[in-house]
């Protein structure tokens, strides 16, 4: 306790600090008082208790957790005793010292806490609601109790446990901002605010999880986002009833329209620029406590294929690569299936010049093509999974060993045909071109049913598979907006930023599938060219 400088003698140490679970701080203030269910039983009766009883009650309600600390200090003005109570593990003691103790003792001797609040500190507030004691302590507040038990004071003293702002690993871009979200919600909001300096950007805090008290921030543009959508998102989040909501995934699963679908219905991203751009289209962003992931909703299928890179390229290049990415969707789900269908059902369609080449490569393979494909696809997935778990340096080794050595050996051993290696490798690469990780996973899983369908019914199986998949996409909704939007329902105007990317000045209206209340985008950037 070396950092308590001057008034050390006045502090009474009750416990040595136990640094256990560090809880994340939050800017959440008085506005949202979600129930603190098993808090101090009869909150109002406490006002009449003596300060000692009150402290004992608080201690009891925290099950005498050893990191709950109480300090007694003596006010310089009237020598009255004042109690400071806080969770040792989640407050910044330096801050406590700087914000309360030092000013308190350096100031005029006559000052009492009540005037202190008015004079000095914005973080210093008088509280009268005793039911919120527990919640405030859990959110890194230090509470100050005086003789006067009708009110108490709170100071926000969170411990800083943030990492630096870095570029997200799985959403890297070549040109453009290299900032990414971190585990602090306030920093994340700051990153978005930095990009959207508009009073219309609204932040709304919600809390989920009866025990975890996870904070969720809902961000939207008040003049663009449709109130119906906002209401729907809020309604669904508020409807979550669970003891613990640990990861964004929990919330995602709780609020999406169809959980029994492979396709992600909210867009997860760690890029502030992506969030800002989507907010401007009228979407809602959900930020979570201690999570760098931000979810965007409502989304459509094509949002998963956009990347900030597209907008930093010349528009024709942007369109070209967008189309490549969409084409990769078909390759990733269909190529192995198509290959299987051809070699085991319809080899008539192979052109004459190629048939002997294909036949000779397949000639001595002992397994049917479906088995071949399954083995190789699963091997690729194994390599991928292993590469994620291993440290980066070993990861690349695994990729080389897996990719090159296994691939080569398997062909040499005559287990798998070299054509199958080509097909599987192309498919794997195609699946990785999707800018969104969730969609990439969905696509990777989708190809297995297609392979089985192709092995049983040839082209017919693939066609029926595609019909089922596209119909599923047609009947899927994301927060009440059609998921496969500008294609089904078809809106030719909205194709400008889905399959292709038109120049910036052509994007004069927002996509209509998310029903923004302000359609016009006012991108008249080339007015100088008009005369």
Q: Which residues bind another protein (CB under 8 A)?
A: 260, 343-352, 355-365, 368-369, 411, 418, 449, 452-453, 455-464, 467-468, 470-471, 474-475, 482, 484, 487-490
Kindly state the smallest distance separating residue 466's Cβ from another protein, in Å.
8
Q: Which is nearer to another protein, 152 or 483 (CB)?
A: 483
Q: Which is nearer to another protein, 94 or 360 (CB)?
A: 360
Q: Which is nearer to another protein, 276 or 299 (CB)?
A: 299
Kindly state the smallest distance separating residue 363's Cβ from another protein, in Å.
5
Q: Which is nearer to another protein, 6 or 346 (CB)?
A: 346
Distances in Å between the Cα of 114 and the Cα atoms of 52, 111, 133, 217, 405 are: 20, 8, 18, 32, 74
Q: Pairing between strand 201-208 and 214-221?
A: antiparallel
Rounded CA-CA distance 457/460 in Å is: 5
Q: Which is nearer to another protein, 321 or 367 (CB)?
A: 367
Distances in Å between the Cα of 108 and the Cα atoms of 4, 80, 103, 104, 146 are: 20, 16, 9, 8, 19
Kindly state the smallest distance separating residue 480's Cβ from another protein, in Å.
9
- Burial degree of 360 (CB within 10 A; 0-12, 13-18, 19+): exposed
Contact 270, 293 (CB under 8 A): yes
Q: Which is nearer to another protein, 38 or 475 (CB)?
A: 475
Rounded CA-CA distance 95/118 in Å is: 19
Kindly state the smallest distance separating residue 258's Cβ from another protein, in Å.
10
List the structure tokens of 316. Answer: 């024709």
Contact 176, 116 (CB under 8 A): no
Residue ranges of E strands in 150-266: 152-156, 201-208, 214-221
Kindly state the smallest distance separating residue 59's Cβ from another protein, in Å.
48
Kindly state the smallest distance separating residue 347's Cβ from another protein, in Å.
5
Q: Identify the H or E element spanning 268.
A: strand 267-269
Kindly state the smallest distance separating residue 375's Cβ from another protein, in Å.
16
- Tally of residues, the chain: 531
Q: Which is nearer to another protein, 329 or 345 (CB)?
A: 345
């Amino acid at each position: 306790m070396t950092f308590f400088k001057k008034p050390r003698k006045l502090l009474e140490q009750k416990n040595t600090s136990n640094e256990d679970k560090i809880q994340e701080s939050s800017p959440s203030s008085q506005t949202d008082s979600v129930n603190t269910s098993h808090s101090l039983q009869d909150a109002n009766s406490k006002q009449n208790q003596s300060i000692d009883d009150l402290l004992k009650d608080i201690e009891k309600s925290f099950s005498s957790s050893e990191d709950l600390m109480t300090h007694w200090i003596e006010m310089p003005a009237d020598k009255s005793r004042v109690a400071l109570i806080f969770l040792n593990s989640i407050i910044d003691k330096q801050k406590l010292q700087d914000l309360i103790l030092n000013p308190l003792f350096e100031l005029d001797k006559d000052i009492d806490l009540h005037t202190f609040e008015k004079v000095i500190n914005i973080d210093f507030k008088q509280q009268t609601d005793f039911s919120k004691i527990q919640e405030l302590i859990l959110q890194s507040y230090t509470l100050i109790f005086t003789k006067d038990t009708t009110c108490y004071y709170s100071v926000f003293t969170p411990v800083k446990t943030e990492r630096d702002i870095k570029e997200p690993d799985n959403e890297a871009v070549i040109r453009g901002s290299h900032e990414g979200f971190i585990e602090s919600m306030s920093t994340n909001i700051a990153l978005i605010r930095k990009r959207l300096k508009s009073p219309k950007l609204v932040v709304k805090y919600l809390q989920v999880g009866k025990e975890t008290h996870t904070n969720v921030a809902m961000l939207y543009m008040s003049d663009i986002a449709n109130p119906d959508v906002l209401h729907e998102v809020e309604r669904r989040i508020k409807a979550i009833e669970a003891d613990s909501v640990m990861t964004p995934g929990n919330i995602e699963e709780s609020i999406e329209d169809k959980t029994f679908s492979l396709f992600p219905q909210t867009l997860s991203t760690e890029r502030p620029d992506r969030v800002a751009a989507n907010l401007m289209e009228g979407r809602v962003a959900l930020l979570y406590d201690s999570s760098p992931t931000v979810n965007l909703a409502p989304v459509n299928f094509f949002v998963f294929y956009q990347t900030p890179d597209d907008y930093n390229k010349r528009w024709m290049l942007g369109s070209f690569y967008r189309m490549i990415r969409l084409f990769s969707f078909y390759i990733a789900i269909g190529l192995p299936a198509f290959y299987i269908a051809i070699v085991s059902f319809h080899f008539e369609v192979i052109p004459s010049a190629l048939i002997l080449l294909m036949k000779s490569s397949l000639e001595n393979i002992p397994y049917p093509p479906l088995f071949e494909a399954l083995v190789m696809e699963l091997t690729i997935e194994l390599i991928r999974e292993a590469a994620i778990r291993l440290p980066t340096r070993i990861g690349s080794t695994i990729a080389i060993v897996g990719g090159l050595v296994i691939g080569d050996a398997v062909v040499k051993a005559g287990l798998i045909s070299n054509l199958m290696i080509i097909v599987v490798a192309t498919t794997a690469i195609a699946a990785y071109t999707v800018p969104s990780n969730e969609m990439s996973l969905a696509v990777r899983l989708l190809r297995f049913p297609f392979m089985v369908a192709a092995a049983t019914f040839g082209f017919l199986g693939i066609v029926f598979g595609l019909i089922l998949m596209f119909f599923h996409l047609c009947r899927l909704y994301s927060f009440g907006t059609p998921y496969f939007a500008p294609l089904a329902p078809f809106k030719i105007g909205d194709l400008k930023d889905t399959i292709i990317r038109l120049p910036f000045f052509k994007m004069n209206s927002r996509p209509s599938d998310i029903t923004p209340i302000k359609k016009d985008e006012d991108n008249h950037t080339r007015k100088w060219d008009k005369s």
